Amino acid sequence: MGKPTGFLEYARQGNPAEAPLDRIHHFNEFHPRLSRDDRRRQGARCMECGVPFCQSGAVLNGMVSGCPLHNLVPEWNDLIYHGNFGHALERLLKTNDFPEFTGRVCPALCEAACTCGLHGDPVTVKENELGVIEDAWEAGLMGPRLPKTRTGKKVAVVGSGPSGLACANQLNRRGHTVTVFEREDRPGGLLMYGIPNMKLEKTIVQRRLDKMTAEGITFRTGVEVGRDADPRDLLNEYDAVVLCCGAAKPRDLKVPGREAEGIWFAVDFLKETTRSLLSTGLAEGTYPSAKGKHVIIVGGGDTGNDCVGTCIRHGCESVIQLEMMPKPPDCRAENNPWPEWPRVCKTDYGQEECIAVFAHDPRIYQTTVAELLADEDGALRAVRTVKLDQSLQPVPGSEEELPCELLLIAAGFLGPQDTLPQALGLERTPRSCIATPEGSYATNVPGVFAAGDMRRGQSLVVWAIREGREAAREVDAFLMGTGSEA
């Protein structure tokens, strides 16, 4: 342990943030990193406690506490404090293929379980992780790492989101020849098109994709397996197929007036904004714009918050975020003790920006859509909402009509799309995910594996990376008869 009294001497210092009224004028990241000296002091705050809950990934009261990747947090915090960033990088990459992604978009389950957080502020684990990996990229330590030998085995990975990339990365390191199929025009899955640029700049994603390409992985874009390519052909051409297609079937609204124009699923809205940003610099007419419109977002989660921030950058007239559930408490309840994940209300960047621009929090709790109202041309003009009681039943007489020309549905997902599973005859779970035996990633079709949201349902990037890594280990054992060393 580098500094036993560090957590007593140094206060938590997070990366600074550009002011909301400044950052809404661009789509770039807005959290500059701390200096190395400041980062070392933040590493010194790690207590290296006897039981590091931060890396446990344990399920407590139905929710995960600590890192699902079991990142070696106390080890690399100690190395950060001592200024040994090279060894910190080695320990970080031992468990996490893409710290530059999790260091930006992960909700930091590690910090919620940090022992420092029991009576004070947790260690800046997520930002320490980001500092290590970004220093490594800048220092030229992240060059291509080619496998020493090739096995002669070929693997197709379908989907290039975080689970697909992690699986491909691990299988390539084990010497297998990997081809990744992606239906979009750019690889990266939700990392490229689902997460807005201000949370994860696409140059960061492309940087990693370029590294993986240099290491021998082939990316085939614009190919939707099951529609543009017969998945049975993959079984004939490749020794194993890993499906990492995500949970891309959005939950819809079933209310009168759903056919009105001006309604988008949130992920499609975010995707088209990013596509236009990358291809045209947001040229007018190349994306569904919120400029000058009253916007209502159905869903109070992270995707809904991303829509709030995006619509404000478009120049919306107003934005409201509807949430069916009651407002969470501002502080931990007695039945939600540390180190459980804190079920508390958080105000994220999009909501901060809404408060700065419109002087109110966009969220309206215990409220849902009752009806969508269109004008004489069929375009959405208003939304009729209704309040919900504690049992989520409509409250009579609580209806309210709100102006709305753009409605974004961010109500979650129902599992993977059906085309590919049906084409292969894959068994499904009651939640429509791909069924695999407990503790396994193998499907009912020999040689076909599944990982990520397609297998476990909508989840976090950090879980997708873990799934991809574990699936790769099982595929490697399937191909070689026993797992080989990376």
Residue 378: which CATH number?
3.50.50.60
> For 50-65, how does the pLDDT look when each residue is reduced to its tens digit (9 = 90+)?
899 999 999 999 999 9
- Same domain? For 405 and 450 the reply is no
pTM above 0.85, yes or no: yes
Same structural domain, 23 and 104: yes
User: Where is the domain boundary, 106, 138, 170?
Assistant: 138
User: Could you tell me if 52 and 121 lie in one domain?
Assistant: yes
Domain membership of residue 116 (yes or no) is yes
Residue 273 lies in a domain: yes
Q: Are residues 236 and 310 in the same domain?
A: no
Amino acid 103: pLDDT: 98
Residue 398 has pLDDT above 70, yes or no: yes
Shared domain check, 428 and 360:
no
Number of domains the chain contains: 3
Q: How far apart are CA 461 and CA 108, in angstroms?
A: 11
Q: Which residue has the tokens 């342990």?
A: 1
**How high is the pLDDT of residue 486?**
45
Give the residue-averaged pLDDT of 299-306. Answer: 94
Dist. CA 219–CA 163, nearest whole Å: 15
The pLDDT tens digits for 316-348 are 999 999 999 999 999 999 999 999 999 999 999
Measured over the CA atoms of residue 59, residue 61, residue 64 and residue 65, the dihedral's sign is: negative
**pLDDT per residue over 3-49, tens digit each?**
889 999 999 999 999 999 999 999 999 999 999 999 999 999 998 78
pLDDT surpassing 70 at residue 2: no
Domain that holds residue 61: 6-138
